[in-house]
Amino acid sequence: MTNVPRHVAITMDGNGRWATAHGVPRAAGHRAGLKPTRMAIQECARRGVEALTLFAFSSENWNRPPDEVSSLMTLFVDSLDREIDELHANRVRVRFIGDRKLLSVRLQARIAAAEQRTAANDGLKLQIAMSYGGRWDIVQAAQELARQCSSGSIRAADIDEARFASLLQLAGVPDADLMIRTGGEQRISNFLLWHGAYAELYFSPVLWPEFDVAELEAAFAFFGGRERRFGLTQAQLAAGEAMKVREP
């Protein structure tokens, strides 16, 4: 497939609405969302995508009803235990981004074990955003830079985009090329505010539990048809200068 994005980011939206439409508890909707999650990982790996970031639980999701949050946390633990063997066998490197201090000790332990086990894998880079918010990500990087300035280890003049990016949760991962959101909503909802600066945005009306290979292919086809100029003119793009801007 031509024009394959290096980094795909997905906001997996619509589990709760799918559950309501099917007359089942919201927790059942979240469980139904595991199937398209596996599909997305497998298909991105198969197509040669370098990195996939999945928005699993946002900073704002902590404000949901306690029973729903509890069921989600249990689902995350169970899913990690069930899926990590296959992910590791397929050379997927698993990494979690977000404020994990808010997670249970049990889940933090599972996360650390999954990251350690897959750290040397050279396949798809899989980032799972849990307790994550783009504003939080930027603020915690700014705080670290402020500490470094205060200690005298760097000067304010030393701060540039590269240094700032090195302190973000996705340090070392290329910027998102394609951001997909399912469920019909057309907003980014505080997801990858820095790394999504030049992403192509694809909004699917399909609720996440019903997101399938055909829908993913439609998103990839949309991306393949975009002219990505990164602020340049068409003439510069034709001369091959866009990649010079994009590459670090």
- Supply the residues annotated as catalytic: 13, 61
Q: State phi, psi for 202 to the nearest 5 degrees.
A: -120, 120
State the burial class of residue 199 (Cβ atoms within 10 Å of its Cβ: 0-12, 13-18, 19+). Answer: buried
Give me the residues paired with residue 125 across strands.
51, 93
CA distances 108 to 42, 97, 126, 144, 194, Å, are 25, 12, 17, 22, 25
State the burial class of residue 35 (Cβ atoms within 10 Å of its Cβ: 0-12, 13-18, 19+). Answer: middle
3-state secondary structure of 121: coil
**How would you classify the pairing of strands 125-132 and 51-58?**
parallel
Confirm if 111 and 173 have CB atoms less than 8 A apart.
no
Residue of 166, 93, 104, 164 lying closest to 131 (CA atoms): 104
**In which residue are the tokens 């900073």 written?**
59
